[in-house]
Chain A
Amino acid sequence: AQRVTQPEKLLSVFKGAPVELKCNYSYSGSPELFWYVQYSRQRLQLLLRHISRESIKGFTADLNKGETSFHLKKPFAQEEDSAMYYCALSGWTQGGSEKLVFGKGTKLTVNP
């Protein structure tokens, strides 16, 4: 079964500190992995996806197939990074339809 686990519900760091939001997945094939972000009172938006290998707002994420992880990292957190972060997986079911599965999210708070 496809599953995305974000073990930390809440994560609090100080400004300038490194931050890592953990994401582990369970999927038998080759998944597409994403990070979505939801700032306070705003809509969800795509932060980055593993196939593009981009760095957005200083965030990077590397897909580690051996550890089935897709952790989101930033070397120096900023206060404006405070938001809810969702890891998501896109994969195909046996029936040939696609499914998108989200983790439960991690609320990141960056303190001044």
Chain B
Amino acid sequence: DSGVTQTPKHLITATGQRVTLRCSPRSGDLSVYWYQQSLDQGLQFLIQYYNGEERAKGNILERFSAQQFPDLHSELNLSSLELGDSALYFCASSVDLAGYYEQYFGPGTRLTVT
């Protein structure tokens, strides 16, 4: 167990809908990362937050947004969902800003868009 929790585990929704994925980092970790894992694209970095502020952006669509709250938990909002958004969404946390600190991954949220 990495100490990173994600809810929900599974989510099934329809196209056009909006969902929110939640992540609680390990105790003491200030950095939160979001990734999307799909069969064809592999693991894609979406966005990073550090102590409440956005620090780095990857291949995140404009329909997606995220935030990190004062208690350091983070939410990833996905809107106007399309079939192609079906994927496993991972959250990871690390103690500090830089990527060479080990990232601890959560179990993921499996999103299915029908």
Q: Which residues of A contact B (CB under 8 A)?
A: 32, 43-46, 49, 51, 86, 90-91, 93, 97-105
Contact status of A99 and B58, CB under 8 A, knowing A43-B105, A43-B107, A105-B43: yes
Is there contact, CB below 8 Å, between A100 and B33? Answer: yes
Closest A residue by C-beta to B50: A98
Does chain A have a CB within 8 A of B64? no
Task: Choose one: B56, B90, B107; the contact of A99 (CB below 8 Å).
Answer: B56
In the bound assembly, the distance between CA atoms of A43 and B9 in angstroms comes to 13
Q: Given A98-B55, A100-B33, check contact A46 B102 (CB 8 Å).
A: yes
Chain B nearest CB, measured from A39 CB (Å): 12
A45 near B105 with CB under 8 A, answer yes
Q: A43-B108, A45-B105 are in contact. List 18 more A-B contacts (CB 8 A).
A: A32-B100, A43-B4, A43-B106, A86-B43, A90-B98, A91-B99, A97-B55, A97-B56, A97-B57, A98-B48, A98-B55, A98-B98, A99-B58, A100-B45, A100-B99, A103-B42, A104-B42, A104-B43
- B97 in the interface (beta carbon within 8 A): yes
CB contacts under 8 Å to A, within B47-103, are: 48, 55-58, 90, 92, 97-100, 102-103
**Chain B hits for A98, CB < 8 A:** 48, 55-56, 97-99
Interface residue SS majority, chain A: strand
Tally of contact residues, B, Cβ under 8 A = 27
Give every chain B residue within 8 A of A103 (Cβ-Cβ). Answer: 42
Within 8 Å of chain A (Cβ to Cβ): is B17? no
**List of B residues within 8 angstroms of A44 by Cβ:** 43, 90, 92, 105
Instruction: For A100, list chain B residues within 8 Å (CB).
Output: 33, 45, 48, 56, 58, 99, 103
| B76: min CB distance to chain A, Å | 16
